[in-house]
């Protein structure tokens, strides 16, 4: 994370560091310090640690987000059924209360760690790290993190995963991407679930859901499936297989991957290694290493 | 309502920076929060006193700057100010745009008072 050297200056905040520079005295003799750190830099730091941990163990970590009841656990059950023989799967479950979801996963013969968040509406990187202490990652190919059912808060917290998947179930209505832009912008893949209900819920138009997604400037794929009827599962399984292969290739090359946009993610963190190598306290250009537009 | 989590994380950050600068009090905290950050400024303002109570930032003024949502079109190059849920190029209508502003969630700057009268030589983080 390059929080320290000035490379996180964007067109939106560059005025803060013009003129008097990064360390000035105000009229009242106060010291003004320009920081420009992500508000979640503590979480982001832990998330980076988690991601290193996943990479070291050869694990693909996938974060599932949706509203409550969109079918995250049912998707996992169907996926375990289809791929449980080919891949070693583990699951971290996030809910406010109960072990219900973890028990459903364990009933399929897959290890599941339940995080009961109490009143917290999202998982954060520290909670996931604590759960990882209970999990032996060595024999795992895919770790699914089933986030708390919530279309708002989970989008803001990097957990260390490689991919974000947002589920949109047919009963919710096709305009969810327009209503929850932060969540749907964070998706590397949008899964339209419960498509077996489309004949009954005729107001829902899959093409309209996709149009709302594109209006968020998202080029992420949108796939449809029904976990209960099993229809169209193959596209999703193909996506997952290709992600496992891509993760293995990244590990072979010593590379890693952050999921689709976390707030300020790409812009702030695309030059992470360079940022840490610099002496703190001065401001300078980084040249072409930044995502376009990241320069002040 | 994850804004309290954000405020608690912010408080840890502020305390660390104040310590590094040998500051006795934090006078002013400036944040930048865009509509696509997933954080609501009024909720942050409500949660802040809970996180700051009993700390050296207890009396600090919390200033939240809002950033407009702006996209740059990857097809025609135009930069337009748009609605948070409609990130289309205002010029050519294409959806292949890149967000250049509006998802900020940053601690932008702090104003600190010193414990003693010694000028601080240490540079900022």
CATH assignment of the domain containing B10: 3.30.2320.50
Report the residue from A42, A217, A281 with minimal CB separation from B99.
A217
Residues B92 and B34 in one domain: no
pLDDT digits (tens, 9 = 90+) for B13-49: 999 999 999 999 999 999 999 999 988 899 999 999 9
Restricting to B residues 57-76, those with a Cβ less than 8 Å away from any Cβ of A are: 67-68, 70-72
Restricting to B residues 8-67, those with a Cβ less than 8 Å away from any Cβ of A are: 9-10, 12-13, 17, 21, 23, 27-28, 30-32, 34, 36-39, 67
Higher pLDDT, A260 or A21: A260
Higher pLDDT, A168 or A6: A168
- At residue A27, the pLDDT reads 56
Alpha helices in B1-125 (DSSP H): 3-20, 41-52
Q: Quick one: average pLDDT of A274-282?
A: 34
Range of the domain at A51: 43-252
Q: Quick one: average pLDDT of A225-229?
A: 96
Set of chain B residues whose Cβ sits within 8 Å of the Cβ of A179? 85
Task: Say if A3 falls within a structural domain.
Answer: yes
Are A215 and B106 inside 8 Å of each other by CB?
no
Restricting to B residues 103-122, those with a Cβ less than 8 Å away from any Cβ of A are: 103-114, 120
Residues B40 and B8 in one domain: yes
Task: Say if A258 falls within a structural domain.
Answer: no
The answer for residues whose C-beta is within 8 angstroms of residue A107's C-beta and 6 or more apart is: none
pLDDT digits (tens, 9 = 90+) for B63-91: 999 989 999 999 999 999 999 999 999 99
When scoring B16, B75, B107 by the number of chain A Cβ atoms within 10 A, the one with the most, hence best to mutate, is B107
Q: Quick one: average pLDDT of A56-79?
A: 98
Q: Confirm if A132 and A111 have CB atoms less than 8 A apart.
A: no
pLDDT surpassing 90 at residue A30: no
Query: How many contacts does A have with B, using Cβ atoms within 8 A?
Result: 176
- At residue A280, the pLDDT reads 34
Residues B74 and B122 in one domain: no
- At residue A25, the pLDDT reads 56
Range of the domain at B107: 1-66+103-125
Residues B37 and B6 in one domain: yes
Q: Confirm if B26 and A31 have CB atoms less than 8 A apart.
A: no
Q: Quick one: average pLDDT of A193-208?
A: 98
Task: Say if A184 falls within a structural domain.
Answer: yes
- At residue B117, the pLDDT reads 43
Residues B124 and B84 in one domain: no
C-alpha to C-alpha distance for A269 and A158, rounded to whole angstroms: 12
Set of chain B residues whose Cβ sits within 8 Å of the Cβ of A3? 125
Report the mean per-residue pLDDT for chain B: 88
Q: Quick one: average pLDDT of A244-253?
A: 97
Count of domains observed in chain B: 2
- At residue A268, the pLDDT reads 42
- At residue A31, the pLDDT reads 81
Task: Say if A169 falls within a structural domain.
Answer: yes
Q: How far, in Å, are A30, A89, B30 from residue B120 at the CA level?
A: 11, 53, 21
Lookup: tokens for A74: 């049912």
Q: Confirm if A293 and A268 have CB atoms less than 8 A apart.
A: no
Residues B1 and B61 in one domain: yes
Count of domains observed in chain A: 2
Report the residue from A34, A39, A185 with minimal CB separation from B124.
A34
Residues B11 and B42 in one domain: yes
Report the residue from B31, B86, B114 with minimal CB separation from A39.
B31
pLDDT digits (tens, 9 = 90+) for B98-118: 999 999 989 999 999 986 544
Instruction: Report the CATH number at residue A49.
Output: 3.40.50.300
Task: Say if A259 falls within a structural domain.
Answer: no
pLDDT digits (tens, 9 = 90+) for A76-126: 999 999 999 999 999 999 999 999 999 999 999 999 999 998 888 899 999
pLDDT surpassing 80 at residue A209: yes
Q: Confirm if A91 and A102 have CB atoms less than 8 A apart.
A: yes
- At residue A29, the pLDDT reads 67
- At residue A167, the pLDDT reads 98
Report the residue from A33, A121, A218 with minimal CB separation from B124.
A33
């Amino acid at each position: 994370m390059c929080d320290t050297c000035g490379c996180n200056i964007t067109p939106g905040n560059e005025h803060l560091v013009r003129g008097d520079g990064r360390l000035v005295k105000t009229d009242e003799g106060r010291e003004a310090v320009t920081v420009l750190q992500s508000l979640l830099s503590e979480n982001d730091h832990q998330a980076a640690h988690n991601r290193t941990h996943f990479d070291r163990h050869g694990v693909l970590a996938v974060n599932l987000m949706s509203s409550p009841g969109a079918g995250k656990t049912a998707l996992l059950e169907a996926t375990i059924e289809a791929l449980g023989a080919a891949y070693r799967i583990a699951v971290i479950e996030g809910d406010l209360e109960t072990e219900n979801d973890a028990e459903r996963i364990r009933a399929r013969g897959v290890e599941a760690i339940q995080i009961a968040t109490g009143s917290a509406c999202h998982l954060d990187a520290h909670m996931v790290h604590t759960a990882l202490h209970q999990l032996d990652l060595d024999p795992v190919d895919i770790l699914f993190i089933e986030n708390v059912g919530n279309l708002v808060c989970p989008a803001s917290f990097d957990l260390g995963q490689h991919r974000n998947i947002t589920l949109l179930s047919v009963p919710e209505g096709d305009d969810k991407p327009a209503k929850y832009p932060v969540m749907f912008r964070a998706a590397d893949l949008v899964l339209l679930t419960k498509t077996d209900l489309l004949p009954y819920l005729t107001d829902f138009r899959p093409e309209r859901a996709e149009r709302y997604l594109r209006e968020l400037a998202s080029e992420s794929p949108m796939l449809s499936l029904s976990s209960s009827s099993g229809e169209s599962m193959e596209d999703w399984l193909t996506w997952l297989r290709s992600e496992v292969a891509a993760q293995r290739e990244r590990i072979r090359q010593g590379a890693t991957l952050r999921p689709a946009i976390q707030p300020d993610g790409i812009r702030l963190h695309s030059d992470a290694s360079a940022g840490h190598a610099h002496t703190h306290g001065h401001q300078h250009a980084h040249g072409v290493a930044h995502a376009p537009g990241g320069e002040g | 309502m994850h804004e309290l989590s954000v405020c608690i994380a912010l408080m840890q950050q502020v305390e660390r920076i104040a310590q590094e600068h040998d500051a006795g009090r934090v006078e002013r905290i400036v944040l930048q929060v865009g509509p696509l950050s997933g954080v609501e400024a009024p909720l942050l303002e409500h949660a802040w006193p809970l996180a700051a109570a009993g700390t050296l930032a207890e009396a600090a003024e919390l200033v939240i700057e809002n950033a407009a949502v702006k996209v740059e079109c990857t097809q025609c190059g135009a930069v337009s100010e748009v609605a948070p849920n409609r990130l289309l190029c205002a010029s050519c209508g294409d959806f292949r745009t890149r967000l250049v502003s509006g998802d900020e969630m940053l601690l932008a700057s702090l104003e600190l008072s010193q414990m003693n009268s010694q000028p601080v030589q240490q540079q900022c983080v």
